[in-house]
Amino acid sequence: MILGIDVGGTSVKFGLVTPEGEIQNATRFMTADWVNGIGFVESMKLEIGNFLKQYPIVKGVGIGWPGLVSLDRTKVILLPNIPSVVNVPIVEILRSEFPHIHFKIENDAKCAALGEYYFGENKRMQTFILLALGTGVGSGVMMNGKLFIGGRGNGTEVGHMLTTRGKSLENQVGINHLIAYTHEQLALDVAKKSSLHTIAELSPKVIADHAAQGDALALAVWADIGTIIGESLVNIVRVMDLNNILLGGGISGAFDYFVPNLKKAMLEHLPTYYTDDMYIGKATLENDAGLLGAAGLIMEAI
Amino acid sequence: MILGIDVGGTSVKFGLVTPEGEIQNATRFMTADWVNGIGFVESMKLEIGNFLKQYPIVKGVGIGWPGLVSLDRTKVILLPNIPSVVNVPIVEILRSEFPHIHFKIENDAKCAALGEYYFGENKRMQTFILLALGTGVGSGVMMNGKLFIGGRGNGTEVGHMLTTRGKSLENQVGINHLIAYTHEQLALDVAKKSSLHTIAELSPKVIADHAAQGDALALAVWADIGTIIGESLVNIVRVMDLNNILLGGGISGAFDYFVPNLKKAMLEHLPTYYTDDMYIGKATLENDAGLLGAAGLIMEAI
């Protein structure tokens, strides 16, 4: 049994994960409570200790972090939300505190790819990118059954790639930017044809729902988002040469509305070598991806 | 001793390469003669046989190709210049003809990175990208001492990445496009201030020479080229996380004029994690890179 830990800016999730990917006894702690209490690292040590005492069946602990990780995977080196953990030798601290337990850390988007690899519906797909489209845009790549981390350990930070429009991918298709862009389009719709004018608070789900009802403005927003993501995927594919693409995160619910233009952009800019056997599908673990992926870190170790 | 073979659209270069990277008895054949004669594959077999008979000290043959190579490195799968070799099991054919010799094939831009790795001034630099800036724009990446080929074998095709201006990198900074762009700028220079107006035939060297003499238009052309390459490198670095960049090929002679803006673009769009220890330098093998890199394919085998 593995303890998966998914660290986030808001909460830290714990869950026991079976080798089949079942999550048991999931629980969450508020990140701010840890930071403002006895300190993040001390709190993590304490709660891991509590879990291990309660579940002595646990042999390994995998921890996913929303930041950059050192090449040797011993510490977090950039984590704006929790600065007190940066450069702390967290793996060493945990190993010396719990010497019989395996510990591993990884970036959370890379964990999500591991999660799909070990526990998703496309289990053991050898080479793919998981694109996580949420407030932020992250990704993880499995390459021939191994997690790709890049030369210095923090590759596949695709949300910060520049698009053909000169801005970063995240600054165009991240949820807040998507909503801002929809507001801009609504302001241009002076005839108020779009049914979205009646909505007090926009969200990806609402914009997708209106697209489903045929609202032209909503459909155009998603078409544009699809083009931007597709063009970025062209660049990723040219560098990485992979042709399995899994789309996850908060906007992937609008899959049917942005994927046609995404594909169109890829077909326009890539030769058939890259596109002939291309698979573009939804990620399958959604909210559990982080926790399961953190557990996935330990799958080969125990 | 290794026989390196560098296949090009115009000529096929042969050279004996010592383990120290010295090229001996270099010779070249015209590609068209092979294609129009007894056929490319038959000609290659014949000339390899002649070389091996003359230099029985040769233990291995590495061949670089200007096209896409199958993931198992047994054949060329896309090579517009020499279609008759596509999908021919060239490695198997050569191995059965010369059973005591090691044969390996690779894409030529990837060979050039291997050449720098084994024989360049930055010998054994573990992780770097070699960007080859010529008529085409190619690249090869060494990652922790291994050639990176991507998930399906043909990654790092960076010349076809889309830039912030919506066109491919190659279609903006490739030599022909660079010259066309300079002509466009000259057409806009109605006061004819630029000394480049007196030049009958533009070339990267001429444009660099005029930049060296302070010609404002030439300097502006290189500055713009630098920005475009720098922005593409931002995307490459975000995906690959490497911070050693070697620039080679026909326009690298203008290094001093385009690299300042290249660096500026990278500093503007990348956090210090990526840029603090960044090295940007010239490739060191230039015209020999292809041949030496082809020989590099065999360095670990014999």
Dump pLDDT digits (tens) for A96-154.
999 999 999 999 999 999 999 999 998 889 999 999 999 999 999 999 999 999 999 99
A99 CB-near residues (< 8 Å, 6+ apart): none
ipTM metric: 0.95
- Would you say residue A302 lies in a domain? no
Asked if B172 and B165 count as a contact pair (C-beta separation under 8 A), the reply is yes
- Would you say residue B37 lies in a domain? yes
Smallest Cα–Cα separation from A188: which of A155, A162, A144, A221? A221
A9 shares its domain with A62: yes
Dihedral sign, Cα of residue B64, residue B67, residue B73, residue B77: negative
* Strand spans (E) along chain B: 2-7, 11-17, 23-30, 60-65, 68-69, 76-78, 102-107, 128-133, 137-143, 146-148, 244-248, 279-282
State whether A157 and B271 contact (CB < 8 Å). Answer: no
pLDDT at A124: 85
State whether A238 and B157 contact (CB < 8 Å). Answer: yes
- Would you say residue A301 lies in a domain? no
pLDDT at A302: 67
pLDDT at B86: 97
Residue to mutate among B129, B162, B228, B233, with most A CBs inside 10 A, is B162
For residue B84, what is the DSSP state?
G
pLDDT at B302: 67
A65 shares its domain with A158: no
B242 contacts on A by Cβ (under 8 Å): 150-152
State whether A235 and B161 contact (CB < 8 Å). Answer: yes
Smallest Cα–Cα separation from A111: which of A120, A102, A99? A120
- Would you say residue B226 lies in a domain? yes
- Would you say residue A277 lies in a domain? yes
Smallest Cα–Cα separation from B139: which of B175, B112, B116? B112
- Would you say residue B259 lies in a domain? yes
State whether A242 and B150 contact (CB < 8 Å). Answer: yes
A92 shares its domain with A131: no
pLDDT at A287: 82
Q: What does the block give as tokens for A38?
A: 């006895």
Contacts 24+ apart (CB under 8 A), B266-270: B266/B230, B266/B233, B266/B234, B266/B237, B269/A160, B269/A162, B269/A168, B269/B231, B269/B234, B270/B234, B270/B237, B270/B238
State whether A127 and B165 contact (CB < 8 Å). Answer: no
CA distance A16 to chain B (A): 32
B214 CB-near residues (< 8 Å, 6+ apart): none
Residue to mutate among A238, A266, A279, with most B CBs inside 10 A, is A238
A248 shares its domain with A143: yes
A170 shares its domain with A182: yes
Q: What does the block give as tokens for A59?
A: 């042999």
For residue A286, what are the CA distances in angstroms to A68, A107, A115, A172?
22, 17, 10, 22
B202 shares its domain with B234: yes
- Would you say residue B302 lies in a domain? no
B94 shares its domain with B165: no
- Which residue in A has a C-alpha nearest to residue B142's C-alpha? A151
B91 shares its domain with B157: no
pLDDT at A138: 95
B127 contacts on A by Cβ (under 8 Å): 151-152
- Would you say residue B301 lies in a domain? no
Residue to mutate among A148, A152, A163, A171, with most B CBs inside 10 A, is A152
B241 contacts on A by Cβ (under 8 Å): 149-155, 157
d(CA B88, CA B75): 6
The stretches in chain B having pLDDT less than 50 are none
A160 contacts on B by Cβ (under 8 Å): 238, 269
B196 shares its domain with B74: no
Per residue in A200-217, is it b (16+ CB within 10 Å) or e — as a string? eebbbebbbbbbeeebeb
CA distance A164 to chain B (A): 4
The stretches in chain A having pLDDT less than 50 are none
d(CA B266, CA B271): 9
Smallest Cα–Cα separation from B266: which of B285, B248, B247? B247
State whether B271 and A78 contact (CB < 8 Å). Answer: yes
pLDDT at A123: 83
For residue B262, what are the CA distances in angstroms to A70, B73, B226, B231, B267?
27, 34, 4, 7, 9
Query: What does R_g of chain A's alpha carbons equal in angstroms?
Result: 20
Q: Which domain holds residue B243?
A: 124-283
A28 shares its domain with A158: no
Rounded to the nearest 10°, the torsion over CA B93, B98, B101, B103 is: -20
A148 shares its domain with A48: no
A41 CB-near residues (< 8 Å, 6+ apart): A84, A85, A88, A90, A93
Angle, CA B184 vertex, CA B182 and CA B186 arms, to 5° = 70
B67 shares its domain with B184: no
B278: CATH: 3.30.420.40
Total of domains in chain B: 2
d(CA B157, CA B169): 10
